[in-house]
Structures are given as C-alpha cells and as structure tokens.
Amino acid sequence: MFFKKKKKEGLGENTVIEFAKTLPHTKKVQFCYLKPKELEEMLDNDINSVLKLQPVNYYAEKSRFWQCVFFFDDEYNNIVMRFELYENDRKSYNGKYRSITEELYGKILMKFGQRAGSGFSCFT
C-alpha cells in the first residue's frame, strides 16, 4: 500500500508565527491604505519598501488603513512585523509575519517621530 507524503508548505512562515507569539512586547502603527495584493508583493520583493508607506492619522482616515503590529524582545534582537487591514474599525485582512532588522524597525518608528527605547543601537 502506498501513502502520499504531505508536503510541508509554509513551514518557514509557521515558524515565524510561533516565534512571534513568544515575543513579550508589541507595538502598533498605522499606514495609509494600499491594496492588499500590492502591499504583499511590495514587501515580498523588498522588505525595506515599507519605508515608502505613508503614516496615517487614525482620526482623519478612519474608514480603512493598515495597522502594522511589531512583536519584539527586550533587547530588540528579534523583531517580527505583521500588517493587518482595518476597514470601518474591523480587521478584514491579515498579512504575513515577517522578520525584520532592528535598523529597519528604528527607521519605521522615526517616520512616526518615535524611538524604539533607550540605548537602541540605531540611534547611538
């Protein structure tokens, strides 16, 4: 008797998802709307393209926006980000979990006039 072997698809993403859930801290920032397919393709091609996205003022653009959730540890050594689309204050789409560098994380927060914490290596 022959058995089909199941392919382990998306093993890398599942590992990142499980890892993100173990990280103790989260931070959220909002970006202007872009079609989900365009955003995913843009980030798959170059993760640094996240810096091209425009920050959104939640109170001005309430109908639809991207919320980027960062998961990180105390030392900012391990940072995972995930985009979630909100339409009319309801989550309507979940993006992929992606590991990013602390340098990219610092640059993203600078777009919002924020810093990642005292002693953060990008700013010293």
- DSSP state, 55? B
Question: What global pTM score does this model have?
Answer: 0.79
Question: For 4-41, what is each residue's pLDDT tens digit?
Answer: 544 444 446 688 888 888 999 999 999 999 999 999 99
> For residues 105 and 76, is the Cβ–Cβ distance under 8 A?
yes
State the number of CA atoms in the 13 A half-sphere of 16 facing the CB.
16
* Of 110, 20, 4, nearest in space to 120 by CA: 110
Question: For 54-78, what is each residue's pLDDT tens digit?
Answer: 998 767 677 899 999 999 999 988 9
